[in-house]
A and B are shown apart, each in its own frame.
Chain A
Amino acid sequence: MKTPDYTAYIKNSFSIVIKYKWLWIFGALAGSGSGFSLSRGFDFFNNFYPDQKPLPDPSSSTEKIANVLGSTTSALKDWLQSIPISKWVILSLLLICLIIMGLLIALIIINWSRAGLIKGIDKALSENEVSLETVSPEGFKYLNKMILWSLFLFGIVLCLTTITPLLWLLIYLIIKTITFLNIIWITVGLLAIIPLFFISFLMLTIINAYAERLIILKDYSIKDALKTAVIISRKTLLASALTGLINFGFKIFIGFAGFISLFLLIGLPAYLTYRSIQTYSAFSLFLGILTVFALLIFIFISSVLGASLNVFSYSNWNQLFRDYLKSINGGKND
């Protein structure tokens, strides 16, 4: 496969983002579970926003807490010991059922939106009609396969993140007594673990991108999709890594721009409101209301930006996948 024209990719992706606004819905939900999603970045920025509530007087509260604990601790202790085991079992069962239900719903939402997004972008690239009505059934059509695939991928990630450190620890325990080997093993482990994880996750990201498209656009089974995705990833490693890097670069850029605008539009007025509370109460009230409005607008814009950025990323991957298919089919897209 020859080097892709990334300028054309970016141009096409931008025009898809602007022209097919229905895809934003899928983009917004598809990003809700991904590791590099913009929404996560903004969560970080939201957490950065300083909590400006005045701190309570510690001397008074400590005394109160001590009193509360003193008077009720023994009663609470007695009561906790008197709770029948059946109640704990019911509580655990209810919590487990709720967690499972929540996970199931999250899996449905994320995988439906991913399938819809991939199919929707494919339709957009072929200049077919794209709307919630036309794309939504495609999301349902591949939902089961996508859920199974995401569970499989989750299993691999879980294995990678647990088995590798455990294996390292096991070897470390075996050679623990030999000081020389011990030092070498720790050095090798520390030096190798970060690049190893980075390469593994990069490969998994690329394989995942191709496998998802093979499942949705070519109706492959999970096994076939995995096999073919590994082959495509090997053949297009550099192009895929560059596509991933471009997507990541855009996310970082937008995330940084979001952080700056959050500081300028929300942080600064909030700080000024706080400073002017005691001196200019009417002005601070006005500024406070304005800040709340600015915050709401910021949340709205950041959610739209996050959604469109996901559409942009998925569109780049779709175009790369299309180009690969063209290259093996001698210019045809099938």
Chain B
Amino acid sequence: MTEKINYASFWERLLSRVIDSTVYFMILITPISRISIINNLPLLLNNLSNYLLLILFFLLVILPLETLMVSYFGGTIGKLLMGLHIQKENGDNLSFKESFFRLTLGKAVSGLFFCLGYLWIFRNAKRQAWHDTINQAVVIRKIHLGWFIGLLILFIFILINFAIMYGGISGFISNVNFYSNILQI
């Protein structure tokens, strides 16, 4: 007996990408909240230069990391949390090379003509975007209430992000005199 395959919808996939983005945002703004409380110029400059290195390092490792996650676990953080799985049409996981092509070339293809490739999910029978089609991949749903879990996790992550941002903004406000002195405005 063949099992019915549940392909992930556009909205589920979008939600999983938003969850990924909130995680990355969290990683990137956490140091800012620490930097904002500094009121010593050399220390501030040191921390800002370290932060620049962190951003560059993040940009460098994020692609290989996502590639590894897609090829080994079948998805990035958001997809895994929501119970979505990226796989070949025959059920195999994508190889490292295929994952790399999916995340680089594939995203470039789907991003063409105002992201028409992503919207293609709506009209494709297997709900494939253009970056799925180029290496015969599909995104399937393994958990039925994945979208609910996703929304819950997104809510928690957004709250954490707000808390971090609040801390950062408070730090900046408490140091407003220091920044005014630097800029002499």
Please say whether chains A and B are actual partners in one complex: yes
Residues in A lying within 8 Å of B, measured CB to CB: 24-25, 28-29, 64, 67-68, 70-72, 75-76, 78-79, 82-83, 87, 90-91, 94-95, 97-98, 101, 105, 108-109, 112, 132-133, 136, 140, 296, 300, 303-304, 307
Partner of B56 from the list A24, A64, A94 (CB cut-off 8 Å) is A94
- Is B152 an interface residue, CB under 8 A from the partner? no
Give Cα distance in the complex from A72 to B63, angstroms: 38
Contact of B130 among A68, A82, A95, A132 (CB under 8 A): A132
Closest-CB distance, A236 to chain B (whole angstroms): 33
Among B60, B113, B134, B182, the residue within 8 A (CB) of A72 is B182
* B1 CB within 8 Å of chain A: no
- Bound complex: CA of A6 vs CA of B127, how far in Å? 42
A-B Cβ contacts below 8 A, count: 77
Which of B57, B113, B114, B182 is packed against the most chain A CB atoms within 10 Å? B113
B97 to chain A, nearest CB (A): 9
- The size of the chain B interface, using a CB distance under 8 A, is 31
Give CA–CA (A91, B53) in the complex, Å: 6
User: In the docked arrangement, what's the CA distance between A109 and B57, Å?
Assistant: 23
A83 B184 Cβ-Cβ under 8 A = no
Task: Specify the chain A residue showing the minimal Cβ separation from B55.
Answer: A94
Q: Is B175 an interface residue (CB 8 A)?
A: no
Asked if B112 contacts A29 (CB within 8 A), the reply is yes
A316 to B104, CA, bound (A): 30
Query: Once the chains are docked, how many angstroms separate the CA of A108 from the CA of B42?
Result: 43
* Cβ distance B26 to chain A, nearest Cβ, rounded Å: 21
A98 touches B136 (CB 8 A): no
User: Which residues of A are found within 8 Å of B113, using beta-carbon distances?
Assistant: 24, 28, 300, 303-304
| Residues on the A chain within 8 Å of B105, using CB | 105, 108-109, 112
